[in-house]
Homo-oligomer: A and B are copies of this chain.
Amino acid sequence: MHPYFKMKTVIRVPFEDIDAFNVVHNAKYFCYFERGRVEYLRHLGFMDDGDESLKNLEVAIVEHYCSYRKPARFDDDLSIHLRISYLKNSSFQFQYLITRDEESSLLTLGYSNLVFFNSVTLKPKTLNPELRDAVTQFEGDHLGQMTGIPEL
């Protein structure tokens, strides 16, 4: 277990994600980040209410960053390691490390800066208190401490 990244989820790379150079297409990693975010919410108990749980996904991405270190390939079992690094009133940051399971070497590293918003009015909204409490408890002392991405 990584000391900062306490949550991970696994993805097997499907053929459809492979590009003409036989590696995972660069844009697909942002979809892997997204699947990680959903599983992080589930891990904290916020994907259990069916359609209601979608309310927790009303987040707008403000900024995206990805650093590509080594390519992922067809049929790789990848681990997406996630953490929330800070939580403000309506904005927060997810950080990601992607590793290939059998070797635990770092393939990809990234972050998303996000804002909660109301999908009807399109205005930012305050993070709901239950989710704030759950994240604060889960991330512990590491929350808000640093802005860089701690590597493996």
Contacts and interface: CB of A to CB of B under 8 A. Distances in A.
Interface in A1-44: 14-16, 18-22, 25-28, 30-31, 34-35, 38
B54 A34 contact: no
A18 B16 contact: no
Chain B CB within 10 Å, residue with most, of A26, A34, A66:
A26
Contacts of A67: 62-63
A100 to B, nearest CB: 13
Contacts of A119: 21
State the oligomeric state as a number of copies: 4
Interface in A41-71: 47, 53-54, 57-58, 60-68
Nearest to A21: B119
A75 interface: yes
A74 interface: yes
Contacts of A57: 15
A58 B19 CA distance: 12
